[in-house]
Structure 1
Amino acid sequence: MKRIIYLMCILFTLPLTSCKKFLETEPTDFKTPENHFNTESELNTALVGVYNKLADERTYRRGLFTYLAISDEFFYRNVSTASIYVLDFDAAHVDIGRFWEALYQGIDRANAVLENINKPVMDEQRRSNVRGEALFLRAYYYFLLADNFGGVPLKLASTKSPTEVPLPRAALKDVYAQILKDMTEAYPLVLDVKKDPSDKTDTGIEYSERITKSAVAGILAKVCLTMAGQPLNDQSKYTEALQWSEKVINSGRHALNTDYKQIFINAAKDVQDPKECIWEVGFYGNNTGTFMQGGTLGISNGITSTDLVDPGYSTGSINTTARLYNLYDATDVRRDWCIAPFRYTTTNNVTTQTPWTAAQIYDRNIGKWRRTYESVMPKTKDFNAVNFPVLRYSDVLLMYAEAANAINNGPNALAENYLNQVRRRGHNKPVNVADPTVDVATGLAPARFLEEIQNERAREFAFEGMRQHDLKRWGIYVSKMNTLATEITASAPSNWRYASSAGKNTSARNLLFPIPNSELVLNPEIGVHDQNPGW
């Protein structure tokens, strides 16, 4: 492990106060475990520290849905070479190194919580809840590592000294075995419902920024689907993916929001939607005071605007590809929500919307997170309080459908129904009423049904950081990126043909990130001979 983690891993000391959300707790200092974990409040604060690395710049503040998630759904404007934005980088790239560091910092913090879980005098049920959340979060950080780097060192104890013996890379299957072990152990420990602990009125309002049984089960379904695909190809995991997704569906706690766009309007307005949004990474404030926990959804990946007030500033750095745009039919309401059908024009301090023409597809920004709906004021240029949706209910429905299709060598009735529910919502139809105008045909061959799921996931989760992951586990990432380059070169307007750059640069080496050079230097157990292929 990188020995510098020792200097960064000790946990937050600010006590929990009566604030709006559990995670609205900010680090101000560090303490050693000998002087920490002595009270329930300190243990909870340490747990906040474990969650906190999910909001790092290289995780869900920005990286995992933008420059670390390059796929065939978007491209960066005005970038064609010498940038991670077009997959033109090497193992020394700072963002790769810091991504690795952030994940291991989260793991080290989780290890410290688990090692000190029995120190404070507290209610045993609440102690079990904390243990479950810490176990799950450690496993989730390892899932992100395995998904992006392959086999990695398995560090299951917190760093006590900078002179500790470094660890070699574990086999990928062993990393996943640990992920499954931790998450499965966490499932019975965490609560069915999480409420804001500062709410003393017992209003029954749920919120989705802390781990619940549904979050654990849904992510376990995702882990198992990943293991069933490339590169492990463990087909037995389809059955487990089905079982875990069934737990979420059969819990009765979740349902599709009937209005697709409202999911993202709610996020902008800081309205909890736990039926649809099972797990979110929480962001708060606008980073103008001492509290620095703002996010960036709709800023780097929003609709270009220089108006700081309404709609709010956005660099508009990312545009859609025609491939994604053309996956939607004209009646799919998700198309013109996810992909902005207009641009903002500001004249004499007045901002208006100007529609794009039918020929201006590559000109279009991401429209999913629209700053005009934000409720936290004043709006600032670089940060907002919009949560990132890690797991939505529609994801669980589609995971069930994919697993059932693989297990049964074709879709069963439930698989077809769950896929159709997502499609109907996407066309603004009642989700539980059959509609031949949008439903998939019954009895499709397994390969054809999988193709429908692949396309539906692209439409449903556009720009949510899932596309690259999905294409890799399906074993089609390189081919999809290469054919994207061919399509753009052949058919895009000449001024947009540089959007083919990432596709042209994609090869088998891009199935994984390189082990960072900084790790290779500091860890003699991982030498250049252990570097990922092609790097």
Structure 2
Amino acid sequence: MRNILLFLLLLGFAGCGDFLEESSKDEVRPSTVDDLMQVMVGEGYPMGMLDYPYTDLLSDDVQCNGAGTDETMVSRVEEIRSLFLWEDDMFEILKADGYNSWKKCYNKIMGCNTILDYIDKVTGEQTAKDNLRGQAYVLRAYYYFLLVNYYALPYNFGNPAENLGVPLKLEMAVHDGFMARNSVAEVYEQIVKDLEKGIQLLEENPVEMSLYKIHALAGKSILCRVYLYMEDLDNTLKYANMVLEEKSTLTSLASMPTDAMQYQGNSVWSIYNSSTSDEIIWMYGGSGMFSSLYPSAYSAMNPFTPSDELMDLYDFSATDANNHGDLRVYAYYYWNMYLNWSPFEYVAFPEYGYKGGRSLSYAAHGIRTAELYLNRAEVYVRKFMETGEGNFRTLALADLNKLRENRYDTRTTAYEEVDIKDADELWQFYQEERRRELSFEGHRWFDLRRYGMPELSHVYFVKTGEAETITTLREGDPRYVLPIPQVALDRNPYLEQNKR
């Protein structure tokens, strides 16, 4: 373990340099594939630190409630202002390490490149080496996918061959000169290439590992998502079918224990808990921002919560103990019995004599089979809209109803299937269902971008009754693309900042 720690220290201090070739003779480099796997875990895997909850603050899934009566929350609410309102000085807050996805993703890409460059220099079985190589390719693709969706225009906006993407750094070694931004199309081409190569290696060299590690099915699921964003419907369908043929399970939320069907309390039930959920394909841990914004007093309000608009989309009842309806409200959110958060006064537990408050409860991120059903349904809806063929409508509704049947309270009441005839109404319903199902898993901001970057407004205030600030993103607003952190621009004069 000491050898690995030394190696990691070198990695941290050397940055992207070819530190392996320059290390002291007294420093011991990884000598086995197992050593390198430990490096991969620390330097290549996300560990809950990449698709930050801050993108939810940019979307319509979060609203501002002010600081209430909690004076200690004022500074926290003000800290988030520029981000929540998409202001020009969000450059400054995004420069901080806690929000700097540019730095975090490129550090992880550096870790993957290190594995790829160094894998043939260690001993071990070839199967283990090639499996690790496959993991590195898939994860590198995943980080570039995040980067190009944070810091570039959507693939389906304008000409991706001309729109600026992000620089492609595909080797560990440092080269002379600085790197300019590749096009969006070039970045996506590399993402697909890495995923295809990684999937092939993982399929040909299977190794039994936990759901926290990348495997071929996870790679196919990520590639399905990539093709969806590219609006390559046939390949999206191809990979959705591949994954669902191998793993089609959906977890019935009606199987939740009683304590989870109240306010989550001390229940360990979670859609991302492998002991309670059967639909996990890949997962990694961590929540983050919202837990740091909890008020310090029971009388106070949480300053940022899931929006009323989002929560109104759920067909949910807290008062009907026999049929709660859409159980995702209980399964995907955390209720705190002490905090009286006024935006959610309409949801109450009269039997306990208090109003409920809602916060975010997600212990992990990753990929679930639910997303693959939704991806496939989107293909069918789009094909129905394009062709008018009723078979595509039937297939889309079959996937949507299968998902929803596993989300509703069916303990005493059978699920009633949705049947929508109109193509535009079906498309709207699909978008809402995707929003309900994948809330706070890193999808909404990206989905809004690929849906055409619609007009979006945020209302901000610090204390109730004081002046409100209302900011609106217009349709196609350039602020749908995040600014590249200034620290990255300062270090690389070849980088061009995104327009505001």
TM-score range normalised by the length of the shorter chain: 0.7 to 0.9
Pick which of 514-523 and 143-152 moved more. 514-523
Alpha carbons 1:148, 1:513 under 8 Å: kept: yes
Alpha carbons 1:13, 1:30 under 8 Å: kept: no
TM-score normalised by length of structure 1 = 0.70
Matches within 5 A, 1:53-68: 53-56=46-49, 59-60=50-51, 64-67=52-55
Choose which of 426, 431, 447 in structure 2 pairs with 1:454.
Answer: 431
- State the Cα deviation string for residues 214-272 of structure 1 (Å, max 9, x = none): 211111111111112xxxxxxxx111111111111001x34111117959944599644
Distance in 1 (CA, whole Å) between partners of 2:62 and 2:346 is 18
Distance in 2 (CA, whole Å) between partners of 1:317 and 1:193 is 46
- State the Cα deviation string for residues 282-317 of structure 1 (Å, max 9, x = none): 35xxxxxxxxxxx53872477x6769xxxxxx9944
Q: Corresponding residue for 1:213?
A: 216
1:152 to partner: Cα distance: 0.7
Q: Corresponding residue for 1:105?
A: 107
Matches within 5 A, 1:154-233: 154-160=168-174, 164-190=176-202, 195-196=208-209, 207-228=210-231
Alpha carbons 1:86, 1:505 under 8 Å: kept: no
Q: Corresponding residue for 2:249?
A: 255
Q: Corresponding residue for 2:74?
A: none
| Amino acid in structure 1 at the alignment position of 2:195 | M
Equivalent residue of 2:282, what SS?
Answer: strand
Distance in 2 (CA, whole Å) between partners of 1:133 and 1:451 is 36
Distance in 1 (CA, whole Å) between partners of 2:288 and 2:237 is 34
Distance in 1 (CA, whole Å) between partners of 2:363 and 2:180 is 36
Q: Corresponding residue for 1:296?
A: 288
Q: Corresponding residue for 2:125?
A: 123
Choose which of 484, 493, 497 in structure 2 pairs with 1:524.
Answer: 493
Equivalent residue of 2:230, what SS?
Answer: helix
Check 1:170–1:532 CA distance in 2 against 1; reply closer, same or farther (3 A cut): same
Distance in 2 (CA, whole Å) between partners of 1:419 and 1:116 is 45
Equivalent residue of 1:131, what SS?
Answer: helix
Check 1:274–1:329 CA distance in 2 against 1; reply closer, same or farther (3 A cut): closer
Alpha carbons 1:186, 1:216 under 8 Å: kept: yes
Matches within 5 A, 1:340-489: 343-344=337-338, 357-358=345-346, 365-369=357-361, 387-408=363-384, 409=386, 411-429=392-410, 435=415, 437=416, 439-441=417-419, 444-475=421-452, 477-479=453-455, 481-482=456-457
Equivalent residue of 1:29, what SS?
Answer: helix
Figure out how many residues of one structure are paired with residues of the other and give that number. 429
1:468 to partner: Cα distance: 1.1
1:128 to partner: Cα distance: 1.1
Q: Corresponding residue for 2:278?
A: 275
Check 1:182–1:497 CA distance in 2 against 1; reply closer, same or farther (3 A cut): farther
Q: Corresponding residue for 2:236?
A: 241
Alpha carbons 2:91, 2:486 under 8 Å: kept: yes
| Amino acid in structure 1 at the alignment position of 2:436 | R
> What residue ranges of structure 1 are gaps of 5+ in the alignment?
1-11, 16-24, 197-206, 229-236, 284-294, 308-313, 346-351, 370-385
1:53 to partner: Cα distance: 4.2
1:160 to partner: Cα distance: 3.4
TM-score normalised by length of structure 2 = 0.74
Choose which of 19, 29, 41 in structure 2 pairs with 1:48.
Answer: 41
1:157 to partner: Cα distance: 1.0
| Amino acid in structure 2 at the alignment position of 1:326 | D
Choose which of 316, 320, 333 in structure 1 pairs with 2:306.
Answer: 320
1:333 to partner: Cα distance: 2.1
1:30 aligns with 2:10: yes
| Amino acid in structure 1 at the alignment position of 2:60 | D
Equivalent residue of 1:279, what SS?
Answer: strand
Distance in 2 (CA, whole Å) between partners of 1:135 and 1:274 is 28
Alpha carbons 1:140, 1:179 under 8 Å: kept: yes
Alpha carbons 1:341, 1:355 under 8 Å: kept: no
Distance in 1 (CA, whole Å) between partners of 2:90 and 2:62 is 23
| Amino acid in structure 1 at the alignment position of 2:53 | F
